[in-house]
Amino acid sequence: MSSTNSTVSCNGNSNVDIQTMDLGFDHLDLDRYVDVGNKLADAAGEVIRKYFRKSFDILDKEDLSPVTIADQAAEESMVKILEENFPSHAIFGEESGWRCKENFADYVWVLDPIDGTKSFITGKPLFGTLIALLHKGRPILGIIDQPVLRERWIGISGRRTTLNGQEISTRSCPQLSKAYLYTTSPHLFSGDAEVAFARVRNKVKVPLYGCDCYAYALLASGYVDLVIESGLKPYDFLSLIPVIEGSGGVITDWRGHQLHWEASSNSDVASFNVVAAGDKRVYQDALDNLQWY
Amino acid sequence: MLSHSSSRFHSLNHHPRHPNPAIYSCSLSLPFRISHSTLKFGAIDFKMSSTNSTVSCNGNSNSNVDIQTMDLGFNHLDLDRFVDVGNKLADAAGEVIRKYFRKSFDILDKEDLSPVTIADQAAEESMVKILEENFPSHAIFGEESGWRCKENFTDYVWVLDPIDGTKSFITGKPLFGTLIALLHKGRPILGIIDQPVLRERWIGISGRRTTLNGQEISTRSCPQLSKAYLYTTSPHLFSGDAEVAFARVKVPLYGCDCYAYALLASGYVDLVIESGLKPYDFLSLIPVIEGSGGVITDWRGHQLHWEASSNSDVASFNVVAAGDKRVYQDALDNLQWY
């Protein structure tokens, strides 16, 4: 009963009815969201390609992370499209923060125009544009886009994840000793998190570094088994959830709890510890070794 | 399950790749066919080193070319032919590698526990075959197949690493590289870094400007460490004293293998510092980096040198590369590797 749309779609397909009643939106809505999601990634990509490997000013933010005119321009291009298409939706952008007519909204688009700004700045084509759509706090659409390589992973609630239109799947991996693990940098772990991470890292087959969100995309595609990171912001993991779950993988915090962040005008941008795996067995093995209670 | 996205990769450089244009400082009236069997290895006297150099000296008023020919024992025609074949090697390895990238294949663990794949082996074989056809008297040192030569020593040695960054290759990450170096009397005169999925090729040639897909490139200025972007592949490649020394420098970015050196030559990265590198992993980088205005040495500031032969041990080296001499000196001062 949450929207008029759900009344219309109840007439046809019974599976859709259940989903519609539960979630308050239907497939037509979802396809429109995916469509606009693609437009967002296209627009951000255009901007980013203009700046990639060109000179530009790098500003240091308060937390000393670098941001560039490319980040800001790419985010603006996406915000513009959303304001035209879904004026009642809220937007939470990494650069521009919360934008909405209300203080709360059922639909929130969460945007990170360049995840892996340091890779972008150094001309390394493995950063990503991250786009998530939340419905009542739950990510129903996630996009990871690499605009230089022109690779786009799209995860949608209830559907199989695709890479450039092809369905993909994670791969099997029975245990840590067989696992290829990625993390962006050992320097992003501190204190207890560093110790916990080391317990897993010491047991995996091969620990690798330096991929940002691209590592999660590789995991969804079945080339990587495990990604473990600490201190991730919501705009950096929300889009990953539908991508990874839709390809058969699992992604939670280090306690095995679902990652959840309620976006609003009052939101603190908390940090989260994230573990993603292609196979439930290596996922459990990782949790058992993280011992994050 | 496996996507065909590899066919969607675009060259990052919108200009079509073309062979490094021949840069002749002299004009030769006739193409002269090089007969390799007449080249005398080890000859320092330029009159004897090849019939070609005699021809080129006649037409050329540029004394720089003469000096270079006298010093080095080869001439521009030779070098262009080497570059030409170097491009063929990279093309051949790239064909093989693209066939295997993001496909399933068996991964074998070598004695030192580093993974090697059928792609490594097949790519190297494809290059060896081309070299045996084109330069049968040259020696070859391949990471997978070792030393190959009719003699025990020779003036020309091709040093090959078909996939530098095998772990990146195995995990579907398109930043590994094919590395090709040609040594003349132990000195790298040609270096190629090739990324076959992104179709990016860096070519460094003795006495010439380095190019990326045919465009000349240059390192960028960087006055000191605090302003530098530093890359290294993995924290696990440093041990003991090397680990302590490296920690004195600054927090690096990770995960690029040879691609980091290529980014440095292109002016997007300021410093690359690594430990435990094998000769087949750094020799090709030298002409690429020096030809773009950068510097690359060991941690003591000494030239990196490895004499390849049938008896060579494959020693490990600590390498530092920089785009600007100032940040290079700052790095050495912090490494304090005496």
Tokens encoding B100? 């295997």
DSSP assignment string, B168-214: HHHTT-TT-EEEEEEEETTEEEEEEEEETTTTEEEEEETTS--EETT
Chain segment B68-101, per-residue pLDDT in tens: 444 556 777 899 999 999 999 999 999 999 999 9
B247 falls in which pLDDT band (50, 70, 90)?
Answer: confident
Interface of B with A in 3-42 (CB under 8 A): 3-5, 8-10, 12
- Given CB atoms, is A166 within the 8 Å cutoff of chain B? yes
Q: Which H or E run contains A259?
A: none
- B213 contacts in A (CB within 8 Å)? none
* Integer angstrom CA distances of residue B253 from A211, A218, B7: 10, 19, 29
The secondary element (H helix, E strand) that includes residue A70 is helix A69-85
Quote the distance between the C-alpha of residue A281 and its chain's center.
Answer: 23
Report residue B104 as tokens: 């399933």
What ipTM is given for this predicted complex? 0.87
Best-predicted range by mean pLDDT (A265-274, B33-42, B182-191) = B182-191
Contact A90, A100 (CB under 8 A): yes
Query: Measuring CA to CA, which residue among B187, B139, B182, B181 is closest to residue B164?
Result: B181
Burial label for A35, CB within 10 Å (0-12, 13-18, 19+), is exposed
A288 marked as part of a ligand binding site: no
Task: Select the residue from B2, B3, B117 to test the A interface by mutation, using most A Cβ atoms within 10 A.
Answer: B3
3-state secondary structure of B214: coil
> B231 with B263: CB under 8 angstroms?
yes
Kindly determine whether residue A126 and residue B175, on different chains, have CB atoms separated by under 8 Å: yes
Question: A108 near A92, Cβ under 8 Å?
Answer: yes
The pLDDT > 70 percentage for chain B reads 73
Per the annotation, does B194 bind a ligand?
A: no
pTM above 0.80, yes or no: yes
Residues of B in Cβ contact (< 8 Å) with A70 = none
- A177 contacts on B by Cβ (under 8 Å): none
Task: For residue range A14-32, list pLDDT tens digits in order.
Answer: 444 444 445 566 777 999 9
Q: Is the pLDDT of residue A1 over 90?
A: no
Q: What is the pLDDT of residue A269?
A: 82
- Give bridge partners of residue B161 from the DSSP assignment: B179
Chain A touched by B2 (CB under 8 Å):
yes
Q: Which residue has the higher pLDDT, A293 or B299?
A: B299
Contacts of A119 in chain B (CB under 8 A): 253
Going by pLDDT thresholds of 50, 70 and 90, the confidence category of residue B111 is low
pLDDT at A102: 75
Quick count: other Cβ atoms within 10 Å of Cβ B337?
A: 16
Q: Does A151 touch chain B (CB under 8 A)?
A: yes
Which chain B residue is nearest to residue A149, measuring alpha carbons?
Answer: B9
pLDDT per position as a tens digit, B248-294: 887 789 988 999 999 999 999 999 999 999 999 999 999 999 999 99
